[in-house]
Amino acid sequence: MIGIVIVSHSAKVAEGVKEMAEQMSQGRVPIAAAGGVDDHTLGTNAERILTALQQAYTPDGVLVLIDLGSAVMSTQMAVEMLPQEQQSRVRLSDAPLVEGAIVAAVESSLDRSLEEVHKAAEAARQMKKIL
């Protein structure tokens, strides 16, 4: 099973997306949120992201969904803090945060591989909301 990490500049956004993804996967997927510099300050914190990576880590891998570009740098720093053997099992996704997290959670709950979960999450950017 693939773990999922939600990285946002807002702790509330990260927790909200985590809650939605957990509900869609019926709580079967390890999902962690890393939002804000702290619980009250917008921004990202590599140590918070590292903690989330450790919480969601599985030997099958972890997919990280990120809200805005500058969160990528903090996430890359956090990944570099992991043991070498774990770093190769972490994939950063360019998927839309909400839709990607929900699709990733569902795909992970179906025991898809890291590559399959990643592709499905990124395909979520093509989902039409209004026809």
Q: What is the pLDDT of residues 92-124, one digit of tens each?
A: 999 999 999 999 999 999 999 999 999 999 999
pLDDT tens for each residue of 68-87: 988 999 999 999 999 999 99
The fold of 3-126 is Rossmann fold (3.40.50)
- 40 among known catalytic residues: no
- Supply the DSSP string of the chain, one letter for each residue: --EEEEEES-HHHHHHHHHHHHHHTTT-S-EEEEESSSSSS-S--HHHHHHHHHHH--TT-EEEEESSHHHHHHHHHHHHHS-HHHHTTEEEE-S-HHHHHHHHHHHHHTT--HHHHHHHHHHGGG--S--
Q: Given this model, what pLDDT does residue 64 score?
A: 98
Annotated active-site residue in 3, 7, 8, 9: 9
Q: Given this model, what pLDDT does residue 67 score?
A: 95
Q: Given this model, what pLDDT does residue 129 score?
A: 84
What's the whole-model pTM score? Answer: 0.95
